[in-house]
């Protein structure tokens, strides 16, 4: 089972095993996988220094959504791109872990603000607060100007609050940062695209699949299931 579903994470492996009659606990499964040496890591996971930052736990979908941008690794690009770079914009809801992602060829407030206009429709719920780092694709340097960026103006128009993380503190946006590391492991490092069309199709297929993969932190439910359950309780 691990060989078929391990690339989607241990939570997915455990859920598949349970669906097939497995009765032991999650930790027992993990011990067995380690014993069989099925999950050897080739790259040491990135770690960050400790901080006094205290995480606030979200209590409903849309209460806090983390947004970040990552480079698409150049090693994936097997077609002529005229030295263009590609970027992945990711929004992840802290409560449900549901994600919405877009593939773009420009890292700017233009692309991130356009992304915002499609965010709530694609997540399927109202967003109250967005949290980002202090990158130029989101905000201006406050020491140079007090002018709001296009991204910030769109947030205001959509009536969405904006929280910025402390400079040089990526762990404060740790949920979206970790999801990007998962993308590298499960998607990008396995791919080499021969055309932009192929890359785009593969990317959005992967993006849609992500919200239907069980996660341990969600008690082995999927992000879509968590949102559906919350909406059902809200209606009831």
Q: For residues 132 and 170, is the Cβ–Cβ distance under 8 A?
A: no
Q: Exposed, middle or buried, 150 (CB in 10 Å: 0-12/13-18/19+)?
A: middle
Cα(197)–Cα(64) distance, integer angstroms: 33
Q: What does the pLDDT read at residue 11? A: 80
C-alpha 195 chain-centroid distance: 24
Which 3 state secondary structure label does DSSP give 68?
strand
Instruction: Please report where in the chains the tokens 């404060």 appear, as a residue.
Output: 172
The candidate with the shortest Cα–Cα distance to 63, out of 226, 236, 235, 232, is 226
Q: For residues 139 and 152, is the Cβ–Cβ distance under 8 A?
A: yes
Query: CB under 8 Å to 228, separation ≥6 — which residues?
Result: none
Cα(58)–Cα(216) distance, integer angstroms: 17
Work out the angle at residue 123's Cα, subtended by the Cα atoms of residues 153 and 101, and round it to the nearest 5 degrees. Answer: 75
Instruction: Please report where in the chains the tokens 């492991």 appear, as a residue.
Output: 185
Q: What does the pLDDT read at residue 39? A: 60
Q: What does the pLDDT read at residue 234? A: 73
Helices (H) and strands (E) in the chain, counts: 8, 5
Token pair for 6: 């391990």
Q: What does the pLDDT read at residue 124? A: 96
Phi, psi of 230 (to 5 degrees): -65, -45
Residues lower than pLDDT 50 in the chain: 48
Q: What does the pLDDT read at residue 53? A: 59
Q: What is the pTM of this model?
A: 0.80
Q: What does the pLDDT read at residue 1? A: 56
Q: What does the pLDDT read at residue 222? A: 97
* Domain residue extents for the chain: 2-35, 65-235
Token pair for 155: 């947030």
Say if domain 65-235 classifies as CATH 1.50.10.100. no
Work out the angle at residue 92's Cα, subtended by the Cα atoms of residues 87 and 95, and round it to the nearest 5 degrees. Answer: 175
The dihedral formed by the CA atoms of 18, 20, 21 and 26, expressed in degrees to the nearest 10: -30
């Amino acid at each position: 089972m691990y060989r078929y579903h391990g690339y989607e994470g241990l939570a997915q492996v455990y859920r598949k095993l349970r669906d097939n009659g497995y009765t032991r606990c999650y930790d027992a499964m993990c011990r067995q996988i380690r014993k069989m040496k099925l999950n050897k890591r080739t790259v040491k996971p990135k770690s960050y220094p400790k901080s006094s930052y205290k995480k606030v736990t979200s209590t409903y979908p849309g209460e806090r959504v983390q947004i970040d941008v990552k480079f698409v690794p150049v090693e994936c690009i097997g077609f002529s791109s005229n030295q263009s770079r590609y970027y992945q914009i990711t929004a992840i809801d802290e409560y449900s872990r549901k994600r919405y992602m877009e593939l773009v060829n420009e890292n700017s407030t233009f692309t991130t603000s356009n992304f915002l206009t499609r965010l709530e429709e694609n997540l399927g719920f109202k967003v109250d607060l967005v949290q980002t780092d202090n990158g130029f694709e989101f905000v201006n340097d406050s020491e140079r100007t007090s002018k709001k960026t296009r991204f910030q103006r769109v947030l205001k128009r959509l009536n969405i609050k904006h929280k910025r993380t402390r400079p040089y503190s990526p762990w404060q946006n740790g949920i979206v940062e970790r999801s990007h590391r998962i993308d590298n492991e499960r998607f990008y490092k396995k791919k080499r695209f021969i055309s932009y069309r192929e890359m785009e199709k593969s990317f959005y297929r992967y993006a849609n699949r992500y919200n239907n993969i069980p996660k341990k932190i969600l008690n082995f439910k999927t992000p879509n299931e968590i949102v559906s359950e919350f909406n059902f309780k809200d209606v009831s």
